[in-house]
Amino acid sequence: MVLSVKIERMTSHSRQTPACPPAPIFSRWIPSLLIGLLTVTLAACLAPNGGASQPTAPTVDISAASTQAVATIFAGASQTAQAALPTATPTPLPSPTLDPNRTPPPLPAAFTTELLNPIDTPHTYLADTCQYLRSKWDPANAAPGTIVIPIMFHGIPDENISDPNEITKPQLKKLIKDLKDQGFEAISASQLADFLEFNTKIPPRSFVMILDDRRPGTAYGIFQPILEDNNWKMTLAWPIGYGDDTTDKKPATNVAGDPQAGTYPNLWAQIEHYYSSGYFEVESHGYFHNIPMDDNSSDEYLHQELDLSMQTLQEHFGRKPVAIIWPGGGFGKKPVQFARAAGYRIGFTINPRGPVMFNWVPQADQSDPQRPVYLPEGPAGDPLLTLPRYWPSQLSAELDKIRNIGSQAAAHAEMARADEIEYYDIVCAPKYGPMPVVGP
Ligand SMILES: [Zn+2]
């Protein structure tokens, strides 16, 4: 009864998002959907390790060539199944002609959750299923369910806020306490890029603190004590500035408590000094910054905002930025392609759709009349370059939900584990090597 209701919801939900780009290559036939739906319910019945034992070692040698054939067959099959999804018609799978004892199991559906807004659906970004599975289950990597909240900060006034998205100093103190009480730790943008690309280990509950625009006083005076106390790093989203407003020409800010205040020749010198403390990473927030990028932006403007800002930051900090923090939250397919070509690994919107996990980014494929400010990310076609970000004012109320998304994802992964590892063993191991195990 419950199950049939759930299937109905899932199916109609799929109809709402016809433009959803290919989510996991491997994920979409119906029995797998059922497994996915049952996950959360059944997870409670499982032993801590899900009772999922490693499949027995292969008894037959499969050549790389036939493995490739299986992979191809399955890729084709999953695309067919995917196309059939909106009508929920089961699609029979072609049978591989290999040893029937080593038929790869169908891979379970990707994790979805009803805790997201229905318009925001998880998007995957890794095309290579074998690489994904290896990164996911390598015991040296982050555990499934590891979750990250990107947060954008602006001014932190003492008491009166000028913008409903700002928070005051006491509210910041409470937010940091709430995050710490729930076991969250801050990571840097480059740690996030490593995690999202390779599932590199990070604290299972993480957040990224991004301070937008040029705010040396806020960085040093308000955040640095928090960073020192917790051994955290913060990401500065730094616009270079233009004309008289360029960072070269701007005077340093006189920050109370900074023993070197008054000695910096300009704003660059000040922020370079703060960078040398090791508590800050400086990422690109455009060059001119004041006109958001979109699909109508000229090539010249995009090169300036993306390539020239990257090059300028590299000159000042000796480090290539990994992130573009889209100025004004503006992006599009063309800007995203230019950012990718420039070498950015991740990018941040101003759309607070949910937390992110490895190969899992909540995005919208169409505009939402309820939230017209949030540009849909799906059409840009690059989830890593269009990550969601929360306003700090929204976050404390969302933390329970965010933690639950992580717990659900961990339970889903545990259910999927045996099949995924067996699949890897049969299809991937001959080419990618055996799944790593915990070292001696
Ligand atoms: Zn800005």
Is residue 83 in some structural domain?
Answer: no
Q: How much distance in Å is there from the Cα of 238 to the middle of ligand 1?
A: 8
Is residue 77 in some structural domain?
Answer: no
Q: How much distance in Å is there from the Cα of 289 to the middle of ligand 1?
A: 7
Give the pLDDT confidence score for residue 332 in this predicted structure. Answer: 98
Is residue 132 in some structural domain?
Answer: no
Q: How much distance in Å is there from the Cα of 36 to the middle of ligand 1?
A: 40
Question: What residues in the chain have per-residue pLDDT under 50?
Answer: 1-98
Q: How much distance in Å is there from the Cα of 360 to the middle of ligand 1?
A: 26
Q: How much distance in Å is there from the Cα of 328 to the middle of ligand 1?
A: 6
4 burial level (CB within 10 Å; 0-12, 13-18, 19+) = exposed
Q: How much distance in Å is there from the Cα of 349 to the middle of ligand 1?
A: 11
Is residue 430 in some structural domain?
Answer: no
Q: How much distance in Å is there from the Cα of 154 to the middle of ligand 1?
A: 9
Q: How much distance in Å is there from the Cα of 361 to the middle of ligand 1?
A: 23
**Torsion angles phi and psi, residue 345, rounded to 5:** -100, -30
Give the pLDDT confidence score for residue 440 in this predicted structure. Answer: 55
Q: How much distance in Å is there from the Cα of 376 to the middle of ligand 1?
A: 19
Q: How much distance in Å is there from the Cα of 233 to the middle of ligand 1?
A: 20
Give the pLDDT confidence score for residue 245 in this predicted structure. Answer: 87
Q: Which CATH number belongs to the domain containing residue 340 in this structure?
A: 3.20.20.370
Tokens found for residue 53 = 């034992």
Give the pLDDT confidence score for residue 89 in this predicted structure. Answer: 44
What is the pTM assigned to this prediction? 0.78
**What is the overall mean pLDDT for the chain?**
82
Q: How much distance in Å is there from the Cα of 151 to the middle of ligand 1?
A: 14
Is residue 320 in some structural domain?
Answer: yes
Give the model confidence (pLDDT) of 31-54 as tens digits: 333 333 333 333 332 333 333 333
Domain extent, residue 334, equals 140-397
Give the pLDDT confidence score for residue 164 in this predicted structure. Answer: 80
For ligand 1, a single-atom ion, the residues with CB < 5 A are: 212-213
CA torsion sign for 19, 15, 41, 114 is positive
Q: How much distance in Å is there from the Cα of 262 to the middle of ligand 1?
A: 26
Q: How much distance in Å is there from the Cα of 206 to the middle of ligand 1?
A: 24
Q: In the chain, how many domains are there?
A: 1
Is residue 364 in some structural domain?
Answer: yes
Is residue 301 in some structural domain?
Answer: yes
Give the pLDDT confidence score for residue 399 in this predicted structure. Answer: 95
Give the pLDDT confidence score for residue 59 in this predicted structure. Answer: 32
Q: How much distance in Å is there from the Cα of 329 to the middle of ligand 1?
A: 8
Is residue 98 in some structural domain?
Answer: no
Q: How much distance in Å is there from the Cα of 212 to the middle of ligand 1?
A: 5
Q: How much distance in Å is there from the Cα of 147 to the middle of ligand 1?
A: 26
Q: How much distance in Å is there from the Cα of 214 to the middle of ligand 1?
A: 8
Give the pLDDT confidence score for residue 61 in this predicted structure. Answer: 32
